[in-house]
Amino acid sequence: FKSKEIVYDSIEDTRRLLQSRNLHTLSADFYAGVLLAADTLTHYGITVKLDVFDTENSITKINEIVGSHDFSKTDAIIGPLIPSNFDYLSTKTTLRDVPKVAPLSTNPVALRNAVFQSVTPKSFLRKRMFEYLDKSLNREDNIVLVVDSLNRNIEKELLAMFPKATLLRPEKSNYLLPELVDSLLVDSLPNKVILESQDFSLISSASSQMSAQLTDMRSVQLFTTYRSNAYENSNLSQKQLGDLQFTYTADRLPLKLGEYNHFQNHYIRTFGKPPNRTAVRAYDLVLDLILRKVYRGDLKSINEIGETDYQESRFLYQKENNAFQNTGYFLLQHDDFAIKELKK
């Protein structure tokens, strides 16, 4: 939370701080989701005892917390949220056998004893998307690769899979020339475009240029092997992605916009606003962990329980030595303004 950095005497400064996206608001949103999960579980007769610690994004504070508290009877430690702090916590010998859950970041953590990486890794999502492309794309279609300079290794893998694919190189400023796009797409075959970039400028340019090529005579579909957070930018046209049937793998299926379910209404009644993705993630994670613990008695056999779905998240744990990795994922496709799940 880094609560000591908040100047509560200044209403304007506090409001300004809490309106921006930072570690304070991230922690608060995550905490809100945890609280709502605990409240939901009480309706099933499950009591949850929560001990909350502010690590202040500080190794010193982590040492202080670990040194002054007995965690031997703790069912699970969730966090810290920052992967480097989580990795440090997982080295503590007194916590060796205590389940430690990495909750939020897509950045990898060290899979030490009793570590649970709850976020499906980027490498796994990419592997599953490669499998889908290999199975689904016709090699005789017009396959076009749009890859930035940071993803040349992915380009090599795609060319090995689709040796006849055409390369469409972005300009140095990460945009596509309209006349080049027009010359490389064809009317006689379906155009399958694979975009590999985490740069918003290129993603926006590619989706805009490809969408502009759609006609009754010319079909274009867009894919990526990794959908990064750059796609969350509100300036990216969801209409264009829908027109292009944008297809990818992901670790979450977003709740439908404009439709509030029981969970969302419960959250709004409790906190006065709809939940964001961080709050939903926390809710899903805590609900899943506790229900698995209640069902099996402890989390050490978490991998013996199959796939579970919640509001937005999917969990399917695989054991790796004495650690556990979530491998739950969705295969998704934009359809107009909606996002639908495809059969794997």
Please give the full DSSP string across 69-92, using - where no structure is assigned: S--TT-S-EE--SSHHHHHHHTT-
CA distances from 39 to 33, 267, 276, 283 (A): 10, 11, 18, 10
In a structure prediction context, what are the per-residue pLDDT tens digits for the chain, which is 344 residues long? 455 554 444 455 545 544 566 788 999 999 999 999 999 999 999 999 999 999 999 999 999 999 999 999 999 999 999 999 999 999 999 999 999 999 999 999 999 999 999 999 999 999 999 999 999 999 999 999 999 999 999 999 999 999 999 999 999 999 999 999 999 999 999 999 999 999 999 999 999 999 999 999 999 999 999 999 999 999 999 999 999 999 999 999 999 877 899 999 999 999 999 999 999 999 999 999 999 999 999 999 999 999 999 999 999 999 999 999 999 999 999 999 999 999 98
Domains contained in the chain, CATH given: 3-119+260-331 (3.40.50.2300), 123-250 (3.40.50)
8 Å CB contact between 238 and 211: no
Using alpha carbons, select from 306, 338, 301, 246 the residue that is nearest to residue 99: 301
Instruction: Output the CA torsion 170→171→172→175 (10° steps).
Output: -80
Strands of 115-117's sheet in order across: 77-78, 100-102, 115-117, 323-326, 317-320
pLDDT for the residue numbered 153: 98
pLDDT for the residue numbered 19: 56
Using alpha carbons, select from 329, 328, 322 the residue that is nearest to residue 111: 322
Peptide bond into 80 cis (omega under 30): yes
